[in-house]
Chain A
Amino acid sequence: DSGVTQTPKHLITATGQRVTLRCSPRSGDLSVYWYQQSLDQGLQFLIQYYNGEERAKGNILERFSAQQFPDLHSELNLSSLELGDSALYFCASSGDETQYFGPGTRLLVL
């Protein structure tokens, strides 16, 4: 158990819909990262927050957004969903350079 929690575990929705994924980091970690993992793409970095502020951005679509709240939990919002957004979404947290990953949310867009 990494100490990082993610909800929900599974999400099934329809194209065009909007969903919110939630992540609670390890106790004391200020950085939260979001990744997308699909079968053919491997782990792709989306975005990083540090103590409430956006720190780095990767290949995150404009339809996706994230935020980190004062209690350090983070949410990833995915809107206007497309079939290709079906993937595993992971959150990770770190206190130094080592990132610890949560169990992931499996999103299926039908």
Chain B
Amino acid sequence: EDQVTQSPEALRLQEGESSSLNCSYTVSGLRGLFWYRQDPGKGPEFLFTLYSAGEEKEKERLKATLTKKESFLHITAPKPEDSATYLCAVQSGNTPLVFGKGTRLSVIA
């Protein structure tokens, strides 16, 4: 059974204080690892898809990396508008996405 564990559950940063969010996963054969951002009461917003170990993708202050067991979402010099819950999900074969419970990020000005 595919499993996803995200840590920490919650993270509080000062504006400009860089950090990383972790997503550990167990799958039988990774087809893709997905990062989403979710604001309170809104639908998840797609950020990145990673397919194989060693792959990296960047978007503004966010950079996602992938190894065979985990993915990191690095946030460089965050701003208050980066505050949200960040969700990680994995897919193996043609099975549905399995989501982690998310990391709730708060960036304080």
Give A residues with C-beta under 8 Å from B.
Answer: 2, 4, 33, 42-43, 45, 48, 56, 58, 88, 90, 97-104, 106
Interface hit among B12-20, B43-51, B52-60, B62-70: B43-51
- The dominant DSSP class at the A interface is strand
Complex contacts, A43 vs chain B, CB 8 Å: 44, 87, 89, 99
B29 lies within 8 A of chain A by Cβ:
no
> Is B97 a contact of A101 with CB atoms below 8 Å?
no
Complex contacts, A100 vs chain B, CB 8 Å: 46
Complex contacts, B101 vs chain A, CB 8 Å: 42
Q: Tell me which of A33, A90, A98, A104 contacts B96 (CB under 8 A).
A: A33
Bound CA–CA A4/B99 (angstroms)? 20
- When C-beta atoms are compared, the residue in chain A nearest to B101 turns out to be A42
> Is B31 a contact of A56 with CB atoms below 8 Å?
no
B34 lies within 8 A of chain A by Cβ:
yes
Complex contacts, A48 vs chain B, CB 8 Å: 96
> Is B43 a contact of A99 with CB atoms below 8 Å?
no
**What's the minimum C-beta distance from B92 to chain A, rounded to whole angstroms?**
11
Complex contacts, A4 vs chain B, CB 8 Å: 43
Extra contacts, 12 of them, besides A48-B96, A56-B94, A56-B95 (Cβ < 8 A), are A2-B43, A2-B45, A33-B96, A45-B97, A56-B96, A88-B41, A90-B43, A98-B34, A101-B36, A101-B46, A104-B41, A104-B42
> Is B31 a contact of A97 with CB atoms below 8 Å?
yes
> Is A103 a contact of B96 with CB atoms below 8 Å?
no
- When C-beta atoms are compared, the residue in chain A nearest to B36 turns out to be A101
Complex contacts, B91 vs chain A, CB 8 Å: 97
- When C-beta atoms are compared, the residue in chain B nearest to A6 turns out to be B43
Complex contacts, B31 vs chain A, CB 8 Å: 97
> Is A101 a contact of B49 with CB atoms below 8 Å?
no
Complex contacts, B78 vs chain A, CB 8 Å: none
Complex contacts, A58 vs chain B, CB 8 Å: 96
**What's the minimum C-beta distance from A29 to chain B, rounded to whole angstroms?**
13
Bound CA–CA A99/B49 (angstroms)? 10
**What's the minimum C-beta distance from B44 to chain A, rounded to whole angstroms?**
5
